[in-house]
A and B are shown apart, each in its own frame.
Chain A
Amino acid sequence: MEIKKTAMAGTLESSDVQIMLSQGSDGITFDLVSDVAKQFDDAIKATITAVLALYGVDNAEVKVVDKGALDMVIKARAMTAVQRALDLADEPNWEVM
């Protein structure tokens, strides 16, 4: 599936993450800012990539500002962002959960 419009979810507050998704043409590309990037950079990307895969999104530009979010928070924010980006916000895809 292709991203229909740029969308964002999450906040910049402590223990949260802000994720922005936009159309891409070169696979899933990341721009990630995090205080814990050194340790968790790959884990954060893997979580978001997995969520995108569940929705069949192969191309996207992903901008992430992580404020030390736990994995489940990242997953939830990624789902919200992708549903907004695919115009599915009114009909959540419960099965991917």
Chain B
Amino acid sequence: MADIIRDINLNNPTQRQYWQTFLSELDIDNFNVKELIGIEKIVGLFDGERLVGTGAIAGKVLKYIAVCDRGATSKGARFNQVMTTLENYMATLGRFHHFVFTKPRYIASFKHIGFGVLAESSLGAILEKGLPDVHSFIRQLPQMGNQTSRIAAVVVNANPFTRGHRYLIEKAATENDFVYVFVVAQDVSLFTTAERQMLVSKGVADLKNVVVVSGGDYMVSYLTFPSYFIHDETTVIDYQTTLDARLFKNIIAPARHITRRYVGSEPLSETTAHYNQTLAREFDDSIELTIVPRLNSQRQVVSARAVREAIATDNRQVWTEMVPETTALFISENITALQTRIRKGQKIDGN
């Protein structure tokens, strides 16, 4: 009998239990809220009443993909059927580009159906398929200098752009011929992506060798990398930061002859401190990492988080000390809107 595709509904306790049991048997047992929350659709492949394959869609990400080949007509047939269903469903939503985060041993299966590897480590891999892809992203990046130029990169979320960001970028601009500033594009912060990008651009407008670009799908917050297939919570951050570092080192940097990366030192956040350590380890000799000590304002370390807290508590003096005039002007003009966003539940303690 042919296998049938049906939707699985996690709000139904029986289906949820059945689904989780199936995945656990296939060694996927991380059902954290963080992993499940973005899921829009789950499909199940059934042989009669027996679940033999599944996969889920969360935005551009396909996850919880697993199949059991026991009783299948041919090896790989069920995997192909599940993936076809997921991809065709994505196509009806107008999504033709997707990512898979998976265990290294499944890389070959995904390559077989048209996925390309963006980064891999012993803990996991990021693959993508469709268009526009990483090559499209690289093509649209402006070209500055040539192989002989000294070219650096800075990646910022800039939520919002502070004097600290300015200090970091200015230092990079002084020490290099050209600097790419990649602004993280995920729209989950207090300041919208458009606002963040605009404030960075205005804040460095006078630095002629600096170009501000969107980080697209490739310079994202590593914290959003799905880790549903990782058992041990303590290795998650290592898995995430390693893939982020390798993607930058092996794909983005070489495409624009970037040989240096500047980051701020991180006295306040353990996660970011870990990230800086991973970058240093992974870049090794191929990219020179400069960790710049964080700028201090009169009272404390300049941080975007402190600025957001000051906005929430209406403490104008604090944010004026920490942000350049361009950002201060924007905050003053939009203070009511920003405070409303916070009141409506926008988190300000993340990044």
Taking Cβ atoms with an 8 Å cutoff, the residues of A that contact B are 5-8, 11-14, 18, 20, 22, 31, 33, 35, 61, 63-65, 67
Contact = CB atoms under 8 A, between A and B. Distances in A.
Given A8-B87, A13-B84, A63 B113 contact: no
Contacts of B114: 18, 31, 33, 63-65
Interface in B77-114: 77, 80-81, 83-84, 87-88, 91, 94, 96, 111-114
Nearest to B92: A8
A13 B96 contact: no
Nearest to A6: B96
A25 to B, nearest CB: 10
B131 A22 contact: yes
28 contacts: A6-B96, A6-B130, A7-B91, A7-B96, A8-B88, A8-B96, A11-B84, A11-B88, A12-B84, A12-B87, A13-B77, A13-B80, A13-B81, A14-B74, A14-B77, A14-B80, A18-B87, A18-B113, A18-B114, A22-B96, A22-B132, A31-B114, A33-B112, A33-B113, A35-B112, A63-B130, A63-B131, A67-B80
A65 B88 CA distance: 14
A61 B88 contact: no
Given A13-B81, A20-B96, 18 more contacts: A6-B96, A6-B131, A7-B91, A7-B96, A8-B91, A8-B96, A11-B84, A11-B88, A12-B113, A13-B84, A14-B77, A18-B114, A20-B130, A20-B131, A22-B131, A33-B113, A63-B130, A63-B131
Contact of A61 (B83, B91, B131): B131
Contacts of B112: 33, 35
Contacts of A35: 112
A12 B112 CA distance: 10
Contacts of A7: 91, 96
A11 B74 CA distance: 16
A69 B321 CA distance: 65
Nearest to A23: B131
Residue among A12, A35, A65 facing the most chain B CB atoms (10 A cut-off): A12
Nearest to B80: A12
Residue among B81, B83, B94, B131 facing the most chain A CB atoms (10 A cut-off): B131
A-B pairs, top 5 by smallest CB distance, nearest first, are: A65-B114, A12-B80, A22-B131, A11-B84, A6-B96
B167 to A, nearest CB: 40
A12 B131 contact: no
Contacts of A12: 80-81, 83-84, 87, 113
Nearest to B82: A12
A31 B74 CA distance: 26
Nearest to B129: A63
B87 to A, nearest CB: 7
A34 to B, nearest CB: 10
Given A8-B91, A18-B84, A18-B87, A65 B113 contact: yes
A67 B83 CA distance: 13
Nearest to A31: B114
A12 B81 CA distance: 7
A92 to B, nearest CB: 18
Nearest to A13: B80
